[in-house]
Structure 1
């Protein structure tokens, strides 16, 4: 809406001082011609906008002028929760809303607090994505996020490992974990089916319908996610490997196995004469565990279970034969 844009333009000039028309256009995501029209509209309404020509010119407010027209809309108030994650806010379709909310908060703060806010944004940056991995394609993320807000049923086509399924989902929440987006949703049109987790990048289709649903009373997204993560960890790591580690492998284990590796190192026994220690490490199924443990190379020896030790030995023998040939 133009009224919201005029307020945003006014707050940009108030918070940042002199800005050129192209700079304002980039911030507001409009054309330079639109900026010219909006500046004229502000001036016509009595706002003292000063236009300065030349290479260092631009638009600014008359010295001493400030506005307190900073009321947040509901959408802007909600978007402030994502203030530390502007990239993820854009993926959710909330980028312009968040930018507008931050401008309004900055304008409402006393000068010292506003400067502190600016310095925090300048000196602290939160990057939620994992290392060395492209972010998931999130083509349906904004649409699904809208369905979460509006409590609308989504007709989805979802890609699983065993093939595609079609479901009607009642979206209850969205979770960002390790740079990946997940949808938490109940099945059926009345949200009375089981609640499951769906990776948003695997949504081949997501049609937001006009049907609204009643959110289950007392549903706690954070509590659900914590329980779900615990169940996943228990289901994935059902075996415990007994592994002998060199001093170098002791340092590598937490980096390669995360919390499980750290806990294994903390509970390790006394080192032997060569400095090697024995640990008990939770691992996934044998086929996965072999590859995971071989990342430690010659710095580790699998002692048990016997089946896992034999599987690692077979894989090492096959590798040796391939390279010797």
Structure 2
């Protein structure tokens, strides 16, 4: 079971409220298995939280003395809100901001900077269609752990050359609709600082593997996370384009088209229409580009509207027929 940032913070809060806690007690509180609880405690220790295990009767995990802090004023409602907000949301409601600030002040000093980084670099937004599921790709938790610790990661990505591994500094993680993204960059040569001129966006569900490295990685002072996220959203919006076509799709081909067009595809209806087809909206930046992208799906999808895209498809077909009109009828080659 992947380690989640919200669960780690809940474990930290429990540690701060008790003299010690065993893995079994933590498992019962978090409703996870004992091995999972033990891994969570070990992850806290690895991230810099000053906790240690003690064995024997009355043993368990304890915060090193002086690390315990006063949580007075942090309500249960604020804690519940924070557990979601810190790892999955960039929404800025007054209650949520107050909760984040209180927890950051309350957590032990070694963990405070990491908590601030995670809070500042994780965004969750609703546009680009309804969120289909609350599930977060497993890679996101590892990326957040790297961000909290200020480490680089080694990634293997579907789409990179043969899935080859490469190093990068994870700068931000966030979701737009149902899809999560990573913004990352290589370091500037002979430094540990991410190259702000080489930022790239990756879909979290296409990350094949992520490994947190011991090499340090950070962003330059004054790095504007809000601006970078907004620019990423704008770029993806442009990729989706202002030209949209309503397409009738054979039910068996719906998943294939959604996989192919990604955020450029949107369901208009879940149930087939009177002709047995499901309606989708496909977007692109130009009419001719949209026609070219849809041409290969003629056997499974028909553009219903607008007329401009239908005309572009017909013209594309006429050009193909003209070019290959004599294919197969040329002079026979001598043996």
Q: Is TM (by shorter chain) over 0.5?
A: no
> Shorter-normalised TM-score: what interval?
0.3 to 0.5
TM-score, reference length from structure 2? 0.42
TM-score, reference length from structure 1? 0.43
Larger Rg: 1
**More helix by proportion, 1 or 2?**
1
